[in-house]
Copies of this chain bind each other. A is one copy, B any other.
């Protein structure tokens, strides 16, 4: 009996929290008890709502900008809402189809797809959107080619399983005959195919130590070339679109300093990637709210990420949305989720054929 009443009152509390957050999200104004009472169909008076609101405030979910104002969700409040209160929506098949159409590339190129993905996400969500793209470095060797382009220069072409391609101009010490080049390519494509790019150098080094290797010279040359090529290859690339959506939000109009801090963070791609790297290995949508983002100046923002994988062997990446903390989480969540699925499927299907 007591348990029933507890869940009942819990349910009501959550409902009220939901109304407050929904309202605050759409108006950016502190929410008063009167308004909640009106939105809540069950005819409770504003006084009762007020009692519940103090509970929610004591629980750390709400706060007041000042004594005579309505309530505003705290970071913890948003967190609880996202984890336990909001009802997760799904995009309609129609909306999903729209995404599919918009990310369809002219040629199946990872970069192109994910550039499109971030643009699409930004436009549909009216928020800043991003995509982290795995490069060859995260994948396994499908093919390696060397094209001589001048006396001392080679073009080293790295092709990963998902047909991600990276090219690097490598300056070689000494000269290289045509036959040598052919032998080298043959060696690379018989010995290294299927290995992760990340382990190539290590593998070759191990073979170098096993001295009497009859391929010693080939192994050494391969190592030199790949060392150069992989050194300048980034592990992932970042696309970012629609930063302008964010600064049009009232919280940033009020406080230009926040805008500056935010843009400084976005300018420093490396710092951003460092944050996103963790999310790429999660296996579902992740939400980071306000201070959770962990960057001092940007506690007014939240971001959501959804990971994807390219084929079975391929590297992993993520798409995401960045906006003010006060954002429509259910909608944003469904969007990044759908986008990640579309990207995965696009390359999964591809991989199957």
Contact = CB atoms under 8 A, between A and B. Distances in A.
A260 B243 contact: no
A228 B107 contact: yes
A213 B147 CA distance: 30
A252 B253 CA distance: 10
A2 interface: no
A158 to B, nearest CB: 10
Contacts of A176: none
How big is chain A's contact interface, by range? Answer: 35 or more
Interface string A245-280: 001100011101101100110110000000000000
A290 interface: no
Nearest to A261: B244
A8 interface: no
Nearest to A108: B169
A142 interface: yes
B169 A165 contact: yes
Given A155-B157, A243-B243, A232 B264 contact: no
A14 interface: no
A333 to B, nearest CB: 24
Given A242-B267, A260-B248, A232 B109 contact: yes
Mostly helix, strand, loop or mixed at chain A's interface? mixed
Given A155-B159, A168-B107, A112 B247 contact: no
Nearest to A267: B244
A257 B254 CA distance: 11
A313 interface: no
A352 interface: no
Contacts of A109: 168-169, 232
A108 B169 CA distance: 7
Contacts of A143: 147, 149
Interface string A8-25: 000000000000000000
Interface string A127-153: 000000000000000110101011001
29 contacts: A106-B231, A107-B169, A107-B170, A108-B171, A109-B168, A109-B232, A112-B232, A143-B147, A143-B149, A145-B147, A147-B159, A149-B163, A150-B163, A153-B163, A155-B157, A155-B159, A241-B267, A243-B243, A243-B266, A243-B267, A244-B264, A244-B266, A247-B256, A247-B259, A247-B260, A247-B263, A253-B256, A254-B256, A256-B256
Given A165-B167, A247-B259, 15 more contacts: A107-B228, A109-B169, A143-B149, A153-B163, A155-B157, A157-B157, A165-B169, A241-B267, A243-B243, A243-B267, A244-B260, A244-B264, A244-B267, A253-B256, A254-B256
